[in-house]
């Protein structure tokens, strides 16, 4: 999940190495429905959910309308997934080149209550192709600031989703590693009674 235009659909395509999800050609909101994709990573199948983007309330009436319809439907969607025991990992997506107060609100409303002791929350940061000397420098420079604001994560990946790009392979590895990592069993009571080798974990982006 994340703000509109943060790169959620692009990340799905990066993980899958296939253009499954529609990506916005510009800054307009693109994904309008919750769509799941079965993606195989190193022999395991993951159910990845692409979600409509959340947009900050602004003075523009059409964006305000988008926000008002998306937020309750995201809440309902999460309740449904929780009810079916299908919430295994939250991937919060943000643009590294665009800090926003909206991110903190999304974290507060959707991630904090779901994190301990239930679902791990990780962050995937996009648009980092120009960060020097390496994309991960973004995390080194920003982790403390995020933590100061109460945004704590169980894992992170610094990415570019550009295609073609010389850093795409490294980005794909990083995001695949992020979603396939085994997070501490004590923060995953939803998996108790299930084998951790169980395929078909779902992952909400």
Ligand X SMILES: Nc1nc2c(ncn2[C@@H]2O[C@H](COP(=O)(O)OP(=O)(O)OP(=O)(O)O)[C@@H](O)[C@H]2O)c(=O)[nH]1
Strand order in the sheet with 121-126: 35-41, 44-50, 202-204, 90-95, 121-126, 155-158
Using CB under 6 A as the criterion, what x/- string covers residues 57-96 for binding ligand X? ----------------------------------------
Given 81, 127, 176, 201, the residue binding ligand X (CB under 6 A): 127
The answer for residues whose C-beta is within 8 angstroms of residue 62's C-beta and 6 or more apart is none
* Beta carbon of residue 151, minimum distance to Mg ion (angstroms, whole number): 22
CA 39 – CA 57 distance, rounded (Å)? 33
Given 23, 63, 152, 191, the residue binding ligand X (CB under 6 A): 23
* Distance, C-alpha 1 to centroid of its chain: 5
Nearer to ligand X, 92 or 188 (CB): 92
User: Closest Cα to residue 36, out of 46, 27, 26, 44?
Assistant: 46
Q: Which stretch binds ligand X (CB under 6 A): 3-11, 79-87, 105-113, 146-154?
A: 3-11
State residue 141 phi and psi, 5-degree precision: -80, -20
14 preceded by a cis bond (ω within 30 of 0): no
Given 129, 180, 187, 202, the residue binding ligand X (CB under 6 A): 129
Q: Give the count of residues interacting with ligand X (CB under 6 A).
A: 23
DSSP 132: S
Nearer to Mg ion, 34 or 183 (CB): 34
172 near ligand X (CB under 6 A): no
Question: Which residues does residue 203 pair with via DSSP β-bridges, in sequence order?
Answer: 48
Using CB under 5 A as the criterion, what x/- string covers residues 10-49 for binding Mg ion? --------------------xx------------------
Binding site for ligand X (CB under 6 A): 2, 4-10, 23-25, 29-31, 52-53, 126-127, 129, 159-162
């Amino acid at each position: 999940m994340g703000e509109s235009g943060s790169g959620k659909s692009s990340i799905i395509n990066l993980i899958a190495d296939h253009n499954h999800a529609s990506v916005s050609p510009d800054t307009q909101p693109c994904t309008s429905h919750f769509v799941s994709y079965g993606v195989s990573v190193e022999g395991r199948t993951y159910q990845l959910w692409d979600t409509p983007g959340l947009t900050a309330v602004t003075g523009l009436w059409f964006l305000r309308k988008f926000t008002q319809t998306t937020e309750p439907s995201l809440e309902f969607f999460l309740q449904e997934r929780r009810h079916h025991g299908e919430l295994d990992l939250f991937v919060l997506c943000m643009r590294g080149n665009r800090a926003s107060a909206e991110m903190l609100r999304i974290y507060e409303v959707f991630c904090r209550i779901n994190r301990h002791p239930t679902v791990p929350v990780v962050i995937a940061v996009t648009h980092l192709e120009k960060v020097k000397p390496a994309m991960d420098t973004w995390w080194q420079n920003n982790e403390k600031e995020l933590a100061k604001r109460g945004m704590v994560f169980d894992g992170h990946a610094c990415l570019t989703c550009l295609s073609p790009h010389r850093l795409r392979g490294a980005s794909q590895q990083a995001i695949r590693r992020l979603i396939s990592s085994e997070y501490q069993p004590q923060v995953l009571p939803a998996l108790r009674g299930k084998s951790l080798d169980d395929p078909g974990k779902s992952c909400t982006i």
